[in-house]
Amino acid sequence: MLVQRITSLAARMRAAIEAMPSEQLPITMSRFPAGSCGDVCLLLGAYFKDQGITDFQYISGSRGSQQKNTWTSHAWLANEHLVVDITADQFSDAPGKIIVTTTSPWHQSFKADTGCPSDFRVWIGPGTYHLHTMYHRLRYVLFDIPIT
């Protein structure tokens, strides 16, 4: 079943990032999972694409109030059937560490922007150079490539 495969791939990406020595993580992921959701989504989207799963989009959203100092942003992947999030646990009210679900009231609490490409290799936003290096490092674990 596709949901099981997506869940497995998501968990594999999360585990690969967690296993990475901290000195090999880009500065944007130095406090993983906190503050790393955008970059992680772009890495996960590339991994999905390399596994033949191409229908996910990068979704970013925000909630809270800047005036009340409760504003925060978050990013996750979604298609018309699923929400996938492997950095949700950076928030104390998140329903889990890895979320793969058809409906997520928690994600609906964010005011979401329009979706964008979920693969850093075709990302139209700034600052993805470090993701090429990170994905190159992760691929040894993700694709069971022996380190020579």
99 located within any domain? yes
pLDDT at residue 2, rounded to an integer: 87
**Angstrom distance (rounded) from CA 134 to CA 60:** 21
CATH of the domain at 96: 3.10.670
61 located within any domain? yes
94 located within any domain? yes
136 located within any domain? yes
147 located within any domain? no
Residue 80 token pair: 């018309």
Please list, residue by residue across 44-56, b when 16 or more beta carbons sit within 10 angstroms of its beta carbon and e when fewer do: bbbbbbbeebeeb
83 located within any domain? yes
**Number of domains observed in the structure of the chain:** 1
120 located within any domain? yes
Which of 42, 40, 43, 56 minimizes the C-alpha distance to 6? 56
pLDDT at residue 44, rounded to an integer: 98
148 located within any domain? no
- Which residues, at least 6 apart from 127, have a Cβ–Cβ distance to it below 8 Å? none
The boundaries of the domain holding residue 45 are: 2-142
148 residues of the chain, pLDDT tens digit each = 689 999 999 999 999 999 999 999 999 999 999 999 999 999 999 999 999 999 999 999 999 888 888 899 999 999 999 999 999 999 999 999 999 999 999 999 999 988 899 999 997 666 788 999 999 999 988 987 766 5
Q: pTM here?
A: 0.93
